[in-house]
Amino acid sequence: MEAYFAEVREALATQDGYRLAQTMTPVAPSDDPDRLHNFHRGCTAFDVQNTIRQAIIYDNEAHIPPSEGSGFVDVYVAYWKVLGVILAAEETTNGGEQADWVNVYNCWKELASIVNRHFDNAIFTAWSLPCLYVAGKYLRSYAILADEVAAKGNIKFNYGLSDDVVDGMAKHDYLEDASRKLTDFYKTCAGDRGPLDDESRKWGIYYIVNLQFKTYFKLDSINLSKSVLRSLQALRQDVPDLSLFPLSQFVTFKYYEGVIAFVDEDYKKAEECLNEAWNYCHKGATKNRELILIYLIPCRMITSNVLPTKALLSASPNLGSLFEPLVTAVKRGDLAGFDAALEAGENAFVKRRIYLTLERGRDICMRNVFRKVYLAGEPVPSPEDQTVSMRPSRIPIANLVAALNLVSRHNEVFDSEDVECFAANMIYKGFMKGYISHEHQIVVLSRTEAFPGTGI
Amino acid sequence: MRAAAAIRERPPPVWTSNPPWAQDRMQFQQQHTESFGQFGLLSITDSTAYTSVPARQAFATEQDAPVNSTQHPHAVTHSPSPDMQQSPHNTGNAESTRQKHNFPPALVNYVTRAFLPENGHPEVDSPALHHKLKQIINGAAEHAGLTNVDWDNHPLPQQVLLREREQERELAREEDRERTRQREQERARQREQDRARQQDRDRGSMQRKRARSPSPVATSSSKKRKSSDLGPSHHDESPHGQANFGGNLDERVTYPIREKLSKKQRKRLGAADQGRGTYAGEVEARRRERFRVTTEPPTYLVSPFTPAPRAIPPPTNEEPIVGTCLNLEKPYFRQGDIAKAELVRPVHVLEKTLEHLQRKWQQDKDYAYVCDQFKSLRVDLTVQHIKTPFTVAVYESHAVIAMQMKDLGEYNQCQTQLHALYKQNLGGSPQEFLAYRIFYFIHTCNRVMMNSVIADLTPEDKKDPAVQHALQLRSALTLGNYRKFFKLYLTTPNLGGHLVDMFLERERLAALASLCKGFKILKLRYLAELLGFATIGDCYQFLVKFGVEQHISKLEEVGGQLAGKASFPLFEAAKKAAFGKVDIMGQK
């Protein structure tokens, strides 16, 4: 208990925000697993206010300004209160029963509001921003838990007279509520109109924005993420450059920016952002690297028709199982295999919103089939120089039909008109150079770079 | 410390004329004020989704002078003259002109009353009044017979108009919410929070001002405030912001400059300030200063999704009401927060209404009328909280009719409702409408929604022929298999063809762009078959619409052939244009 307060005072005195934030997480540090219990048992509801006031303000060797001091007293009192609820909930959960996470969420929200208010009122300054991060981070976590409880039907919601016949069957009431609170956090950070020095609250903006993204993605409302981005775009001149923020925040932000662009089909921008995220992502953060690759791989496939190497995929078992079959099928020009892989992974792909993008990989797959047909052609002497032999540039459509029917599923039979369609598409999309002669039923390929980017 | 105080007291030189960086900053802010003003406009147009009636004055005065000038608040000042009574019919339809002689005296009286100056309302101008009166009388003549209406107690047209506007305003918000329900909820709550917090802050800042005044620091800060009051000149430069923020704008424009200055001072003070706690009062004052600036969120922070002032429905109707109105037909208007039972039809009447409307649609094909009646039907269902298979039937009928008339806005509303209704297992034809839903999202190029449609597919859905067809059609499009697409188009089950028609031309252009790139010569006969035209003539007609007439040759010998290379740029441009103008919301 005393050690705990000593830690708080120390953090306050040295203005070490991250250290201070560690004293208000709902997770005990590994070197002092009983800290939460001890702190909570150390006071009673009756004397908690005084105890903390004593510890922070009266033992004030740190010379904290009074307003800041009483601000932190408010925070720690709220923290003490929520700890009681959290510890009880954890106990219930350990006992195998349903804990009242809704209550936990509401109490934590109180704490979060206090922290936010003190920032908004400029009682806390930039160095203690990590406290805001902690408040926001666990607000989100507890909201998710509370939603789970609510979804199990322990708590019923009734919004009264709803707009149309069907009322909102909202499954994420608490998370939505949390997202609104995070918007307040955002405004608190962005609303600091002081100069961009070390004291500006704007230094908190990217952490909060990342939390917002995370929340909105969970809520499945990409549009809200986009409006955050727009708002941030408008602020750009007034916010320190992203590159000055901690790398973790930079990488997370770039990841979300990339995924938002990806969903918008802006693959060029998505690739740019994801590449940056990938380049700066910590080598050991396997999970994050995997997440980045899930979008970067389809992205690269669309923008430059590049497929991931075996080595990259094998680095992570998840990625391997997700993409391996599809990638192999594309490389081999195995249409049936491609369709099967797409179908098998449909749920996983749809969940990550990459299904519709991966589907377009079929073009590359088909290109590879056409390319193989071209390569299989018996070399003939070049018209200019009889001593040089070259592959025939005229490919009968019948050959392509036969090849496609060989690799496609048995229930899918193509005829020459289908193939003409495909060939026209290949040419249009730049996978293949040449033209089609409907009359002669041949595809005439360019003598140079018939299949651009494939070495032929 | 004394030096610091001296600096503090010296009037900062830059306050009177703004330095260049301050100008920049102001410009930046004004730009954003303006863009916010546009958002503001948007939200207004949102809430007035109707165009038939003149703009409301409340908004017009704030936003739009031209609209205001067309309004004649007291236009209805004509004294009642004999020919005035017939004026609605002079321009009325033939039917009502024929019946001119049969006007019951009560009606004549009613019309006279409508034009009495003391019944005029500043918000209803003369053309609108005429129009409404005409509507009322024609409506009565058509449905009830002029003699059967109690004209003495019938509400005057201006009253009807005002009520309708009120309801439409309400409805516009409601409809908006239907479409973007999640977003809208977000907005409303945010708005509420903002308001609450604003109040908090106002209260807070007042208290702080009061608390601060006796302290020595306050003198300097109040001095600053005085200097900043030079601000209002910026005020006039930003007309958009004004409407939204009123007098607060100047404060916001000038604050950063002042803040910067105070920071500069602070820098100079810096050295004296190192020892924490020694100057605790000053540290606090600085923070107050920082805070004071943020009492109002800066322009660019006000969320881009401008909250429409939509109140979360008050829990007035805890118990769903049961209507007592027995009319088969009822013009559409939005029930207010508290629905009146006498204006709402009970289910057994509504069931007859649906049959009646379907019959009426088959006979007259008067979409404007039928759509209005359906909307009224839907409102009656809503206020009575009726969620039964009958509700599904109503929405399905309306969706089908709207689809046939290419009224995508109305269709989308029905579809959204149906999607939610089907989840409650109330019967209907979920698969049929799922197929339509797929077509709709193909049309709007809404990949996000398409993704969730695919995510929500059940094995049962996948077995349904209509859904299978729609999925195949989608896949054919994505994979560029035009031949398959147009083949599938010709075999579209149910009424899906109406929706596919909406993007047919666009896809034909896409196909043509691709074909022209790949083929040197394209025979029209081949194209007609490939692109699903009924005849070569149709195909030719379609092609020449895009200016490729001179690239078509040999019309007699082989039925025409198109030069691919020359036509390609034309089709490519047309394709881009066609895909560019898809309205995502599907609104007209």
Q: Is A63 left (phi over 0), alpha (psi -120 to 50) or beta?
A: left
Q: Confidence class of residue B233 from pLDDT cuts 50, 70 and 90? A: very low
pLDDT given at position B286: 61
CB B73 within 8 A of CB B122: yes
Tokens of A10: 């120390």
Tokens of B236: 């006039």
Tokens of B35: 């863009």
In this complex, which of B177, B417, B514 lies closest to A428 when CB atoms are compared?
Answer: B514
Q: Number of CB pairs < 8 Å for A and B?
A: 214
Q: Does A346 touch chain B (CB under 8 A)?
A: yes
Q: Does B66 touch chain A (CB under 8 A)?
A: no
Query: Could you tell me whether strands B561-563 and B552-553 are parallel, antiparallel, or unpaired per DSSP bridges?
Result: antiparallel
Q: Which residue has the higher pLDDT, A99 or A442?
A: A442
Average pLDDT over residues A119-125: 85
The pLDDT of residue B498 is above 60: yes
What residues are paired with A293 via a beta bridge? none
pLDDT given at position B503: 85
pLDDT given at position B303: 43
How far, in Å, CA of B241 to CA of B286, rounded? 29
Interchain contact, A65 vs B303, CB within 8 Å:
no
Which residues of chain A neighbour B514 with C-beta distances below 8 Å?
424-425, 427-428
- For B457-470, the pLDDT digits (tens) are 888 888 888 889 99
How many other CB atoms are found less than 10 A from the CB of residue A157? 10
Q: Does B423 touch chain A (CB under 8 A)?
A: yes
Interchain contact, B204 vs A163, CB within 8 Å:
no
Residues in chain A: 456
How far, in Å, CA of A253 to CA of A11, rounded? 28
Interchain contact, B301 vs A359, CB within 8 Å:
no
Residues in chain B: 588
pLDDT given at position B182: 61
DSSP B488-537: HHHT--TTHHHHHHHHHHHHHHHHHHHHHHHBSEEEHHHHHHHTT-SSHH
How far, in Å, CA of A267 to CA of A360, rounded? 13
- Using DSSP's 3-state secondary structure scheme, residue B563 falls into strand
CB A163 within 8 A of CB B177: yes
Q: Does A14 touch chain B (CB under 8 A)?
A: no
pLDDT given at position B187: 63
How many other CB atoms are found less than 10 A from the CB of residue B71? 18
Q: Which residue has the higher pLDDT, B251 or A241?
A: A241
What is chain A's alpha carbon radius of gyration, rounded to the nearest angstrom?
30
In this complex, which of B301, B315, B450 lies closest to A187 when CB atoms are compared?
Answer: B301
By the 10 Å C-beta count (0-12 exposed, 13-18 middle, 19+ buried), A405 is classed as middle
pLDDT given at position B19: 39
How far, in Å, CA of B367 to CA of A217, rounded? 41
The ipTM of this complex is 0.76
- The pTM of this model reads 0.64
CA distance B228 to chain A (A): 15
- For A205-230, the pLDDT digits (tens) are 899 999 999 999 888 888 888 888 88
In one letter, which amino acid is A91? E
Which residues of chain A neighbour B316 with C-beta distances below 8 Å?
161
The residues in A 269-328 lying below 8 A from B, measured between CB atoms, are none
Q: Which residue has the higher pLDDT, B218 or A379?
A: A379
Interchain contact, A67 vs B284, CB within 8 Å:
yes
Q: What angle do CA B433, B434, B440 make, to 5 degrees?
A: 85
Q: In what order do the strands lie in the sheet with B521-523?
A: B521-523, B561-563, B552-553
- For B4-15, the pLDDT digits (tens) are 443 444 334 333
How far, in Å, CA of B547 to CA of B569, rounded? 11
Q: Does A423 touch chain B (CB under 8 A)?
A: yes
| Nearest C-alpha in B relative to A183 | B190
b (16+ CB within 10 A) / e for B526-558:
bbbbbbbbeebeebbebbeeeebeebbeeeeee
Which residues of chain B neighbour A259 with C-beta distances below 8 Å?
none
Interchain contact, A263 vs B185, CB within 8 Å:
no
CA distance B140 to chain A (A): 29
pLDDT given at position A69: 84
pLDDT given at position B336: 55
The residues in B 193-222 lying below 8 A from A, measured between CB atoms, are 193, 197, 204
Q: Does A355 touch chain B (CB under 8 A)?
A: yes
pLDDT given at position B582: 58
Q: Confidence class of residue B185 from pLDDT cuts 50, 70 and 90? A: low
Q: Confidence class of residue B313 from pLDDT cuts 50, 70 and 90? A: very low
Per-chain mean pLDDT for chain B: 65
| Nearest C-alpha in B relative to A195 | B260
Locate tokens 């704008």: which residue? B249
pLDDT given at position B254: 37
| Nearest C-alpha in B relative to A180 | B190
CA distance A122 to chain B (A): 5
Which residues of chain A neighbour B28 with C-beta distances below 8 Å?
237
Locate tokens 């029917």: which residue? A405
pLDDT given at position A133: 92
pLDDT given at position A31: 80
How far, in Å, CA of B511 to CA of A29, rounded? 63
Tokens of B206: 């007042």
Distances (CA, A) of A252 to A180, A276, B349: 21, 10, 58
Count Cα atoms within 13 angstroms, Cβ side, for B528: 15
| Nearest C-alpha in B relative to A263 | B448
Q: Confidence class of residue B273 from pLDDT cuts 50, 70 and 90? A: very low
pLDDT given at position A120: 86
Which residues of chain B neighbour A199 with C-beta distances below 8 Å?
290
Q: Confidence class of residue B95 from pLDDT cuts 50, 70 and 90? A: very low
Distances (CA, A) of B1 to A28, A67, B215, B278, B561: 45, 22, 16, 11, 92
How far, in Å, CA of B355 to CA of B240, rounded? 50
Contacts of B146 (CB under 8 A, 6+ apart): B99, B102, B103, B104, B107, B137, B140
Which residues of chain A neighbour B382 with C-beta distances below 8 Å?
163-165
By the 10 Å C-beta count (0-12 exposed, 13-18 middle, 19+ buried), A428 is classed as buried
pLDDT given at position B217: 41
- Among A137-151, A184-198, A361-375, B178-192, the least confident range: B178-192
Interchain contact, A192 vs B290, CB within 8 Å:
yes
Interchain contact, B454 vs A168, CB within 8 Å:
no
How many other CB atoms are found less than 10 A from the CB of residue B29? 22
Q: Does B391 touch chain A (CB under 8 A)?
A: yes
Which residues of chain A neighbour B515 with C-beta distances below 8 Å?
421, 424
CB B168 within 8 A of CB B55: no
- Among B175-179, B344-348, B459-463, the least confident range: B175-179
The pLDDT of residue B190 is above 80: no
The H or E element containing residue B553 is strand B552-553
The pLDDT of residue B517 is above 90: no
The pLDDT of residue A416 is above 90: no
pLDDT given at position A250: 92
The pLDDT of residue A95 is above 50: yes
The pLDDT of residue B210 is above 70: no
pLDDT given at position B27: 44
Interchain contact, A227 vs B484, CB within 8 Å:
no
Tokens of A207: 């952490």
Query: Could you tell me whether strands A442-445 and B521-523 are parallel, antiparallel, or unpaired per DSSP bridges?
Result: unpaired
Average pLDDT over residues A63-83: 86
CB B319 within 8 A of CB B342: no
Quick one: which of A341, A337, A297 has its CA closest to A319?
A: A297
